[in-house]
């Protein structure tokens, strides 16, 4: 009887010991898993942060704009604040009179800046491509957008809030200098366009515009201009009626300066077009 009781006590002791070991191991396992989860989250957050930073840091497009002056910390700040948007052909990035509250950096695609005329026509002021910032002048002057920005082809743009741009402007002298130079270049381009409108013939302006489309935006594999504008849009750029633009294109085609393939245009004699554009 005593032997049975003693055996029972030993068994009970073993059970308690096994339970203690079990719960200790379970507690250790839970703590280990918790620590592992925390470590994993830290690593993933670090990786995600660095991936985002590197994405902006290594962006070739950023090197083409005022943003190239940003230092490493500012690039991280930029990456955490920007948002990327896909704009389909014909869609607006922002409209004339709209308060943008930031700037748009063109990452990919082609867009146009235009002004609505009194007769309701969309007058193209400028075509934009990768690396250009949109909305910087109205942001600095604290005014609504003076122009509309729309996609001529599918675009990818990054929106940077005004607060971030102002922070960079106030704390990075090189960035603020680059931004002001960019605005001055836009004003110079606008002045040159006004001078060309007064001093050059419509034929010269058309030749000059076709060369600009070729040099700035390139051509497709079939040699057609990559930027496809309607005849009305092209007429708006050179400052003439659509009918006059169509007639001049036909004349250029007969002179074998260009080739018309439907709505597409191929530059056949670049040298002759340059000579025509520079004629006094």
Strand order in the sheet with 83-87: 83-87, 155-161, 102-108, 133-134
- Residues 199-215 have pLDDT tens digits of 899 999 999 999 999 99
61-175: CATH topology: Jelly Rolls (2.60.120)
Cα distances (angstroms) measured from residue 46 to each of 59, 73, 93, 246 = 20, 15, 33, 58
**H/E element, 275:** helix 270-277
DSSP assigned state of 109: S
Q: Which residues contact 145 (CB under 8 A, 6 or more apart)?
A: 94, 95, 96, 97, 98, 99, 100, 135, 138
- The C-alpha atoms of residue 265 and residue 242 are separated, in whole angstroms, by 16
Residue range 199-277 forms a domain whose CATH class is mainly alpha
Band of residue 36 on the pLDDT scale cut at 50, 70, 90: very low
pLDDT value at residue 70: 87
pLDDT value at residue 2: 45
Cα distances (angstroms) measured from residue 279 to each of 140, 207, 276 = 39, 11, 5
Mean pLDDT of the 46-65 span: 54
- Residues 126-183 have pLDDT tens digits of 999 988 999 988 888 899 999 999 999 899 999 999 999 999 999 999 999 988 888 8
Mean pLDDT of the chain: 82
Task: Please tell me the pTM assigned to this model.
Answer: 0.72
The ranges assigned to domains in the chain are 61-175, 199-277
């Amino acid at each position: 009887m005593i032997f049975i009781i003693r055996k029972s006590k030993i068994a009970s002791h073993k059970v308690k010991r096994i339970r203690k070991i079990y719960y200790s191991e379970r507690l250790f396992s839970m703590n280990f898993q918790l620590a592992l989860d925390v470590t994993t989250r830290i690593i993933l957050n670090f990786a995600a942060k660095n991936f985002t930073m590197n994405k902006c840091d290594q962006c070739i497009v950023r090197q083409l704009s005022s943003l190239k002056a940003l230092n490493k910390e500012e690039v991280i700040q930029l990456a955490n604040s920007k948002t990327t948007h896909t704009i389909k052909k014909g869609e607006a990035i922002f409209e004339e009179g709209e308060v943008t509250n930031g700037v748009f950096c063109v990452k990919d695609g082609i867009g146009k800046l235009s002004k609505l005329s009194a007769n309701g026509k969309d007058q193209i002021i400028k075509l934009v491509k990768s690396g250009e910032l949109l909305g910087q002048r109205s942001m600095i002057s604290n005014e609504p957008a003076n122009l509309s920005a729309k996609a001529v082809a599918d675009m990818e743009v990054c929106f940077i809030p005004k607060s971030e741009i102002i922070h960079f402007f106030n704390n990075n002298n090189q960035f603020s200098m680059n931004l002001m130079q960019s605005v001055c270049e836009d004003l110079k381009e606008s002045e040159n366009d006004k001078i060309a409108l007064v001093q050059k013939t419509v034929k010269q302006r058309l030749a000059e515009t076709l060369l600009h489309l070729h040099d700035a935006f390139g051509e497709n594999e079939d040699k057609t201009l990559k930027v496809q504008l309607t005849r009305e849009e092209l007429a708006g750029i050179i400052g003439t009626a659509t009918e006059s633009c169509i007639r001049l294109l036909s004349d250029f085609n007969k002179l074998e300066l260009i080739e018309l393939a439907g709505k597409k245009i191929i530059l056949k004699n670049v040298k002759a077009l340059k000579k025509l554009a520079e004629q006094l």
